[in-house]
């Protein structure tokens, strides 16, 4: 059974139980990372995961609560390596390449650190003790700016992206679909409910959707566009015909103990599949389902929250 490791299931406001977004899918023996928000590298260690487990990282967009731990993740992965690992392949919307270059390029923010760790005898000794052979290689990160469409095709998985609707035109945002022999899972990233994301998710097994608050909160603040609430997440899941819905990027109101059951109940008024309001540092199972007997996708006109904005 495939697994979803939730490192971060909050937003940009830190609270004691959640902060930022980051997720790892463990499927078919491969671990694939989506977003790298605050303290993701440290949170991995608390879940018995390691940056060297990850060869592929996909960014939905470049708000800090989704990418601020990227330098820590890259540097830890390199510093723990012995020089024989696969390069880290990173994909994301505009600025993914330039951010990477500004961090770990020849004149990047951490070039001084990389230079010291490659050349000082202390760091060279530690590298050899781990099994490395001098000279110590440069950090190997291959970053790619990508857009909607097929983003990556490997031997055992494929990633497809669709445009999300969040804070355009200031930042581009993408939703991603991961297809494997063991099932399909979709990450909405930060978005308001939109048909492009529904189309991407159609027939998938699981949807990992932003769900910032109760729908009534957003309805009362019509200028708060670019976000998804309880009914918006439910509508997208129902229209796409997924079987499991995982709620992430959950705000402090919805995640409060006294409100969780009411939030899930609100989702279930529209979506009749399995609903999980996720918590950080937790692992959730998801599985491949038989969609052959599913009814056709519901008429979008029946889902006003898809078109709420």
pTM of the full predicted structure?
A: 0.94
Strand, helix or coil for residue 257: coil
* Paired sense of beta strands 141-145 and 149-153, if any: unpaired
pLDDT at 306: 56
- Minimal CA–CA distance to 277: which of 238, 224, 229, 226? 229
- Minimal CA–CA distance to 137: which of 148, 151, 124? 124
pLDDT at 292: 62
292 compared with 104, residue with greater pLDDT? 104
Measure Cα distances from 121 to 30, 78, 133, 135 in Å: 35, 17, 13, 11
Contact between 309 and 192 (Cβ < 8 Å): yes
Name the superfamily (CATH) of residues 2-307. Ribonuclease Z/Hydroxyacylglutathione hydrolase-like (3.60.15.10)
Q: Cβ atoms within 10 A of the Cβ of 28, count? A: 14
Q: What percent of the chain has pLDDT over 70?
A: 94
Q: What is the mean pLDDT of residues 24-36?
A: 96
> Mind listing the pLDDT tens digit for each residue in 155-171?
999 999 999 999 999 99
Whether 210 shows a pLDDT value over 90: the answer reads: yes
Whether 308 shows a pLDDT value over 90: the answer reads: no
Q: How does the average pLDDT of the chain come out, rounded? A: 94
Contact between 96 and 59 (Cβ < 8 Å): yes
Query: What confidence category does residue 290 fall into, taking pLDDT thresholds of 50, 70 and 90?
Result: confident
Query: What confidence category does residue 299 fall into, taking pLDDT thresholds of 50, 70 and 90?
Result: very low
d(CA 106, CA 138): 10
Q: What are the sequence ranges of the domains in the chain? A: 2-307
d(CA 94, CA 272): 36
Total length of the chain:
309
Whether 1 shows a pLDDT value over 90: the answer reads: no
State the angle between helix axes of 96-104 and 70-79 in degrees (0 to 180), rounded to the nearest 10. 50
Query: What confidence category does residue 106 fall into, taking pLDDT thresholds of 50, 70 and 90?
Result: very high
145 compared with 306, residue with greater pLDDT? 145
d(CA 299, CA 95): 37
């Amino acid at each position: 059974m495939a697994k979803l490791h939730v490192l971060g299931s909050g937003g940009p406001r830190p609270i004691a139980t959640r902060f930022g977004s980051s997720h790892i899918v463990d499927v078919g023996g491969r671990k694939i990372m989506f977003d790298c928000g605050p303290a993701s590298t440290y949170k991995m260690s608390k879940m018995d995961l390691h940056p060297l487990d990850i060869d592929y990282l996909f960014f939905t967009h470049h708000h800090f609560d989704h990418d601020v731990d990227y330098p820590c993740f890259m540097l830890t992965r390199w510093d723990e390596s012995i020089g024989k690992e696969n390069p880290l392949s990173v994909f994301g919307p505009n600025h993914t390449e330039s951010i990477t270059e500004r961090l770990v390029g020849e004149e990047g923010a951490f070039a001084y650190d990389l230079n010291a760790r490659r050349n000082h005898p202390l760091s060279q000794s530690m590298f050899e003790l781990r099994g490395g052979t001098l000279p110590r290689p440069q950090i190997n990160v291959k970053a790619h700016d990508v857009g909607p469409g097929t983003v990556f095709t490997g031997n055992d998985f494929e990633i497809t992206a669709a445009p999300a609707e969040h804070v355009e035109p200031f930042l581009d945002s993408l939703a991603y679909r991961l297809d494997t022999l063991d099932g399909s899972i979709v990450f909405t990233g930060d978005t308001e409910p939109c048909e492009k994301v529904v189309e991407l998710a159609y027939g998938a097994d699981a949807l990992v959707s932003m769900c910032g608050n109760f729908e009534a909160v957003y309805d009362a603040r019509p200028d708060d566009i670019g976000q998804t609430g309880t009914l918006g997440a439910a509508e997208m899941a129902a229209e796409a015909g997924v079987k499991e819905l995982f709620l992430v990027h959950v705000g402090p109101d919805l995640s409060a103990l006294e409100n969780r059951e009411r939030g899930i109940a609100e989702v279930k008024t529209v979506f009749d599949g399995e609903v999980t309001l996720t918590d950080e540092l937790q692992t959730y199972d998801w599985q491949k389902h038989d969609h052959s007997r599913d009814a056709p996708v519901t008429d979008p006109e029946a889902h006003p929250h898809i078109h709420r904005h």
